[in-house]
Structure 1
Amino acid sequence: MIEFPNPDETPCAKIKAQRADPEFSKRIDTLKTNLNLKKETGYTYRRNGTYTYENNANATDEKNSLSLPNPLLQQNKNIIAYFHTHVKDFWYTDINGEYRPKDGIKMFSPADINYFMQMVKNAKEGGISLNEVFAVMVSPKGNYQIRFTGDINQIKTFTDSQITTLGVAFERTMKWNKDDPKKLEYGILKFMNDQMNLKGVSLYRMNADGSNTEIKLDTIKTNIEEIKCSTKI
């Protein structure tokens, strides 16, 4: 496991400090407003402290997706975080003239997680502390953050073909629970564990009251455990 040298370096402490930062909060507030849009938006955050607004999104009859800078390119290997929205459900007219609901899954997708893991891999290769890397999802069902808290040997990324296959399985697994935040939390943790064989990715809920909660699978992986982050650093 990563050894955090002092209490200020724990994920809970990092997230608490972020939420006290006006620049971080401003981006979250913007993305909350953007939940009314019909496409995803977000930000990338580089190690030099700069945020870049990202709104190059594709919206099709089947899904919404936000295009982020290619993390494999050298000029993007200093991206250590990204934020993005999963927008409110809405009705639209499809290409056949039928009025249909667009109802997405308000949780990190396999593609979202893969981008995060590529940032983790880049940080490892660049000698950057892995506890600087994070990803945020803002949605009507709640705001979440993922961080890597595993061993460096647990870092793995996926091919485009693998992500396509995982995306189909994710939709099939999660669509029945899309209206229940607790089932979404359990679903993504179980999906990463079982379907992606991905260990060491921790999920945190950024609660509306300003507190933060770590969400974990229980010991027999049939439910979630909620661990409230301390209000003290």
Structure 2
Amino acid sequence: PLSSAPRTVPAVRSHEPARGPGWKPAPAGGVVIAANSGGLADEGKLIAGELGIPYRGAVAAGPGDVELALGGTGAPESYTLAVRDGRVRISGPDEAGVFYGTRTLKQSVKATGAMPEGTVNDRPAKPQRGLNVETARKHFTAAWIEDRIREMGDLKLNQLGLHFSDDQGFRIASDSHPEVVSAQHLTKAEVRRILALAAERHVTVVPEIDSPGHLGAVIAAHPDLQLRSATGRAPRGAVDI
């Protein structure tokens, strides 16, 4: 029988079915990088570890291998994933696209134990696909945020908003004004770690610091900055600029 489309979230845009057993991770197989595609080493090591097979680097693909390759003229973040003759080849015009192809492979293997025979052609429906985390009103640990970044990568989301400040808190370290920083906050080392992981998973981090409103946490340390109206009313969180 013809193969069915892989089970993934989000669903792939196109799957050309074929007859065949598909591909399953096996000790004899590994992950290899095609010629002129050295920038995919991080993606290769990641998917190899997730599938429990060796990463072999820039060598020719053999039976049972997963080959990653840069090339083609598709849309940004697009990829083609072909399964035939007991091998997988994932190619795309940029590293993000190939990375998303590895996410399709990972999801399918985790869901059914295999990647079905045939060819997937996929690309994002929207250029911006994101998650916003409200860290000002509720503190979230660096480890929790890192777990969300890993999930975002698997779901092919590419923007993470971190709302660091509001009336309820200022949740990122500051060397110049440590007095405004809440007791529960992210250190600079934690933020650097978050940024590094986000880059690996092709997620752009968008920091948010409110001003001149929603600065109650700052005004608590500097009441002289409070804005007052002509009648003396003090709007919550508003700084006099």
Q: Output the TM-score relative to the length of structure 1.
A: 0.25
Question: Which has the higher Rg, Structure 1 or Structure 2?
Answer: 2
- TM-score of the pair, normalised by structure 2: 0.24
